């Protein structure tokens, strides 16, 4: 049985919106992650989590951004894995996904995630996808949080944890620093 692993770039105030800058016109503060050097260990942190994953679970907005960028990227081992692995998108509006190996999930979130965890031995990786992640956390479906924390406060934007979210006990199992960012791995208690 696989684990559901949420991986996020977050600011000190918990903002996870548009770290790469693809939504600058809408968000106005995007691209914040590129202002900092995450170092070789940070690249390794991201590659190791992807290598441990058998599939990706994404929200529609993140999926569309990834589907626009990744198929044309020549990113070596990382890019090959991103493009070849199975991808599952939670969406009520997406009908014809363009990125290879993509399946749209329309059912009840808890049931769909339970089926994915049963189907795969390795991790099911969730990146970005703020609304989806908040729903997964609210349903107590997240097994692992893998965070890269960037030393900036944005003051506004979509956050990892929704306002009014219930208590979620996690255990800190790994911390590190790579370049200018902190890395954290937390498991669900």
Asked, for residue 163, whether it belongs to a domain, the answer is yes
Asked, for residue 188, whether it belongs to a domain, the answer is no
Is pLDDT at 119 greater than 80 in this prediction? Answer: yes
Tell me what pLDDT residue 164 has. 85
CA 57/CA 47 separation, integer angstroms: 17
Termini Cα distance of the chain: 17
Asked, for residue 155, whether it belongs to a domain, the answer is yes
CA 88/CA 140 separation, integer angstroms: 19
Asked, for residue 186, whether it belongs to a domain, the answer is no
pLDDT of 24-81, one tens digit each? 667 788 899 999 999 999 999 999 999 999 999 999 999 999 999 899 887 788 889 9
Query: What is the domain extent for residue 133?
Result: 4-181
Can you tell me the mean pLDDT for 88-95? 94
* C-alpha distances out from residue 36 to 59, 63, 183, Å: 26, 24, 13
Closest CA to 150 of 38, 4, 75: 38
Is pLDDT at 102 greater than 70 in this prediction? Answer: yes
Asked, for residue 115, whether it belongs to a domain, the answer is yes
Asked, for residue 189, whether it belongs to a domain, the answer is no
pLDDT of 125-138, one tens digit each? 999 999 999 999 99
Give this prediction's pTM: 0.95
How many domains does the structure of the chain reveal? 1
Cβ atoms of 41 and 176 within 8 Å: the answer is yes
Burial of 38 (0-12, 13-18, 19+ CB in 10 A): buried
CA 121/CA 174 separation, integer angstroms: 22
* C-alpha distances out from residue 134 to 1, 28, 41, 81, Å: 22, 22, 28, 26
CATH number of the domain encompassing residue 19: 3.40.430.10
Is pLDDT at 167 greater than 70 in this prediction? Answer: yes
């Amino acid at each position: 049985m696989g684990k559901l692993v949420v991986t996020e770039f977050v600011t000190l105030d918990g903002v996870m919106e548009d770290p790469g800058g693809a939504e600058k016109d809408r968000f106005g503060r995007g691209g914040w992650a590129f202002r900092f050097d995450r170092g070789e260990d940070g690249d390794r942190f991201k590659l190791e989590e992807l290598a441990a994953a058998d599939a990706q679970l994404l929200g529609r907005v993140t999926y569309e951004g990834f589907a626009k960028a990744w198929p044309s990227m020549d990113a070596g081992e990382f890019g090959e894995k991103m493009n070849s692995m199975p991808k599952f998108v939670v969406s009520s509006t997406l009908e014809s996904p363009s990125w290879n190996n993509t399946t749209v999930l329309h059912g009840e979130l808890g049931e769909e995630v339970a089926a994915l965890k049963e189907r795969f031995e390795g991790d099911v990786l969730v990146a970005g996808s703020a609304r989806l992640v908040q729903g997964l956390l609210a349903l107590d479906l997240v097994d692992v949080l893998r965070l890269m924390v960037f030393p900036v406060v944005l003051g506004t934007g979509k956050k990892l944890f929704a306002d009014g979210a219930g208590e979620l006990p996690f255990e800190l199992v790994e911390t590190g620093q790579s370049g200018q960012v902190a890395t954290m791995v937390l498991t669900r208690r």
